[in-house]
Structure 1
Amino acid sequence: MAVRDLEMRVEPGEIYGFLGPNGAGKTTTLLMVLGILKPTAGRIYLWGRPLEDDPLAVKRRIGVVGEHDYIFDHVTADEYLRFFADLYGVANPAARIEALLDRLGLLEFRTLRARDFSRGMKQKLSLARSLLHEPELLLLDEPVSGLDPHGIVDVRHLLLELNRSGVTIFISSHLLSEVEQTAHRVGIMHRGRLVRQDTIPALRGMLRRDPTLEVELQAPVPHLDAQLLALPVVRQAQTNGRRLVVTVAPGADHRGMISQAVAAAGGVIVGMHAHEPTLEEAFLTLTDAAVERWVS
């Protein structure tokens, strides 16, 4: 996908989520940042210097995990990491390798050949390789691809630890829920263009609408939605068995009034919470709006 009119800034020490559907231009952008693809116009600056001034010096400060990294199948995890430790000139490589394998839960598999690794284990091994030389910037393309839920949580915690130690992390992904839990800011790509760049709270804020309360009832209450619609603060009310969704007027906290109305109708509330806009909703709104602009 051709990338057009891209102006993006990643601040030192932040976790930046680079979002977009498949084919949006995310991987193309990463390849340009790495100097593998050369932009036909414009320049890429890393640490205040144009990438082309000294690309090797810049790349020594970067760790990379691709979505489909190739790992030599015939070598063990330990041999694989030792090979790259030698390339990077890592001091005390044995200790560094052991620490990374231990942190990523691969220490007991260090003598296992990579061809016997699961996809998730290979992904963790790629992450270990990217961290060997203690990079200042991590570029990650779908870093939790192939991981089970425990592996995803473990990698998430590791990335947060690295970020707290000062590492800048750039995550390219289409897994919005994972980025939502880690990123400070996100950029949303669609059809080769950056359609929005902002903090996650700001993106949620663009979806401001009347507050919605989601209520779980002990048992269904006949005609409850009609009774709630009689209240002046209720915009919409919809029941589906034991689940009730109520849209109310903005401003005051109307949970007490809703609770009283449900009780008066003979219902018992076992849970209630306010629905907050999600990053996924913001993403869909922005990309749908972009499509509408280009079609028109």
Structure 2
Amino acid sequence: MLRFTLKRLISGIILLLVVGTATFFLAHLAIGDPTVGLLGSSATPAQQAALAHKIGTDRPLLTQFLDWGGHAITGDFGTSWRNFQPVSGQISLKLPVTLSVVTFAIILSAVFGGLFGILAGLNPGTWIDKLVKGAAVVLFALPGFWVSLVLVVWFAVNLKWFPAVGYVQPTMSVQGWLRSITLPAVALALGAIVMVAEQLRNAFIAVNGQDFVRTLRSRGLTQTRVVLHLLRNAAPASLTVLALMFVGLLSGAVVVEQVFALPGIGAMTNGSSQNGDIPILLGITVVSVLFVVIVNFVLDVVLGWLNPKARVQ
């Protein structure tokens, strides 16, 4: 198990280094001269040259990369080219907002997706099964931006159950914090719920037809204990989907945070890309990939525990 864990950890570190390097060069290639976006088209060549010297873009690109990479390893992503504040400090202020919404969405996806998947898997061909498959088709077709607007109109404007926009810090009010992240989390989770349910349904049906399940039933085990055995064998597929959903929900937060006016990483990414603030974009990318690596590492360890055969891969 230790060797398996170390292999997954090394793979995650390599992925982080590769993505960080690729993002650095691609960002500079895509944005070109950042002084144009930072100063505007009315800036004079002298002003652009002065800003380029201040932010260090007048140096060779490889020198810039080595300087950025050497500091990034220690968690220092430099300073923003827009406000000249430390990137790490700005991300640490925005990250809890996005993580709270994404984490809540993952919890909703796991709970409701698991419940619907188990019910559909135990009752294939019934109305519950057909409802899950129908919901999967419909919700995948709906754009997240439209779903977010519908939730705002129904539950914030008409029913007034939740605030339409804004974010409340949990230190100020736990109830207010939960109310402020509920609608964004639901908007993110709807598609993930049906995906988890569909995967768990298919896994339940496949496992339920195996010989060991019939043996368990013949021994007189209760339905609850049989379901627990089924869940352990069917869980890997759903856990993999949840890990993939985490990556997708981080990306989806860009749209949702715009609709609900949340001061998170998504809104920060959108503003930085428009301004050409490469240090902010690089910092957000590295931190996002770091969380993806952590989630996938935990997933691999859990799957290795659930399925010992996976440890030899």
Q: Structure 2 length as normaliser, TM-score?
A: 0.23
**Greater per-residue helix proportion:** 2
**Greater per-residue strand proportion:** 1
Q: Structure 1 length as normaliser, TM-score?
A: 0.24
